[in-house]
Amino acid sequence: MISSLSILNYVDMDSEDKVLGYGISLILLNIGMYVGISDIMMESKIL
């Protein structure tokens, strides 16, 4: 999660809308990683 925040260092953010958009997309990215990794781990244990 902390390493994904470093993405914001490389983004040109001119307005509050862009900051909000990138923030929401990073939150969704982190949720997707946590759900995806746990799902893969559970699938590999079942098989």
Give the pLDDT confidence score for residue 1 in this predicted structure: 66
| Spatial distance between the Cα atoms of 9 and 18, rounded to a whole number of angstroms | 13
Say which residue, 4 or 36, is predicted with more confidence.
Answer: 36
Q: Name the residue type at position 25.
A: S
Give the pLDDT confidence score for residue 31 in this predicted structure: 92
- Total structural domains in the chain? 1
Instruction: Return the structure tokens found at 40.
Output: 């893969």
pTM (global) more than 0.75? no
Give the pLDDT confidence score for residue 40 in this predicted structure: 86
Domain residues for the domain of 40 are 2-46
Q: Which tens digit of pLDDT belongs to each residue from 14-47? A: 889 988 998 899 899 889 988 988 888 888 876 5
